[in-house]
């Protein structure tokens, strides 16, 4: 257990519904990342926060995706109007000092039916 | 061009064998390098950082060649428990870029 927790661990939703995932990073970590991973692929970067500021966002991220980290602690990732192609594992990772490694939560599995 | 490229394998090796994985990265400005291990349907976990001088952790040895933009991982005396996917990871700026992973199965 790395200390990064994600909720829910599994979510099955119907196409067109909205879903929200939550990530609680390691408490002293100011960096937080969201990634998406599908089978046979490595994690794909979605967005990055340093404290409460969203500093980077993938160009591949459509307008249906939004992330927040309102108080620089936990973060949420919302997907609106889900599509079947959104089915994946959504991973959250946190890190301390820049340049240091990052630690992942167990991931949130999304299945869109 | 992808930021990080790895041979996806799969590598199937007998117990006790030595196996090597390679990885190349495209951005010469990348500043930090890592190997992560990922078990099936689990999250990636840090295996080791990679330093220019090379570094070793038990049966695992990592090497970095900045001139060639090449990273390697050597596993000696493979154990059944080493079966996993090994992800090459490069930090460029604030972003960690992951390779697609190399699948290893150690056979009894």
Taking only the tens place, the pLDDT of each residue in A36-68 is 999 989 999 999 999 999 999 998 778 999 999
**The pLDDT value given to residue B108:** 95
Is-contact A33 A89, C-beta < 8 A? no
Q: Does residue B75 surpass a pLDDT of 80?
A: yes
Q: Chain A within 8 Å of B42 (Cβ-Cβ)?
A: yes
Which residue's structure tokens are 């939004």?
A: A66
Please give the average pLDDT of every successive group of 10 residues along chain A, which has 113 residues: 91 98 94 95 94 90 92 94 97 86 96 98
**The pLDDT value given to residue B77:** 98
CB contact under 8 A, B94 and A2: no
**The pLDDT value given to residue A8:** 97
Residue A71: how many other CB atoms lie within 10 Å: 9
For residue B42, give how far its alpha carbon lies from the nearest alpha carbon of chain A (Å): 6
Cβ contacts of A14 within 8 Å, gap of 6 or more: A82, A112, A113
Select from A44, A56, A93 the Cβ nearest to the Cβ of B94.
A56
Residue B83: how many other CB atoms lie within 10 Å: 17
Cβ contacts of A11 within 8 Å, gap of 6 or more: A19, A21, A108, A109, A110, A111
Chain B contact set for A42 (CB, 8 A) = 4, 87, 98-101
Q: Which of A42, A39, A30, A41 is nearest to A93 (CA)?
A: A30
Q: Does residue B24 surpass a pLDDT of 80?
A: yes
SS3 A85: helix
Q: Does residue B1 surpass a pLDDT of 80?
A: no
Chain A contact set for B34 (CB, 8 A) = 101
Q: Greater confidence, A100 or B5?
A: B5
């Amino acid at each position: 257990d790395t200390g990064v927790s994600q909720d829910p661990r599994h979510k099955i939703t119907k196409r067109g519904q909205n879903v929200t995932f939550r990530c609680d990073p390691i408490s002293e970590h100011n960096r937080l990342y969201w990634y998406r991973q599908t089978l046979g692929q490595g994690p794909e970067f979605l967005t990055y926060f340093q404290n409460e500021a969203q500093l980077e966002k993938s160009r591949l991220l459509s307008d249906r995706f939004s992330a927040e980290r309102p108080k620089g602690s936990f973060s949420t990732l919302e997907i609106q109007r889900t599509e079947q192609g959104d089915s994946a594992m959504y991973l959250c990772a946190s890190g301390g000092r820049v340049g240091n490694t990052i630690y992942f939560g167990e991931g949130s599995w999304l299945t869109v039916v | 061009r992808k930021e990080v490229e790895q041979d996806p394998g799969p590598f199937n090796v007998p117990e006790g064998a030595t196996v090597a994985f390679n990885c190349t990265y495209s951005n010469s400005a990348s500043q930090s390098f890592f190997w992560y291990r990922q078990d099936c349907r689990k999250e990636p976990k840090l295996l080791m950082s990679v330093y220019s001088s090379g570094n070793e952790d038990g049966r695992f040895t990592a090497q970095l060649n900045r001139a060639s933009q090449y990273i390697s991982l050597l596993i000696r005396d493979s154990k059944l428990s080493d079966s996993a996917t090994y992800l090459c990871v490069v930090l460029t700026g604030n972003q960690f870029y992951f390779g697609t992973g190399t699948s290893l199965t150690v056979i009894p």
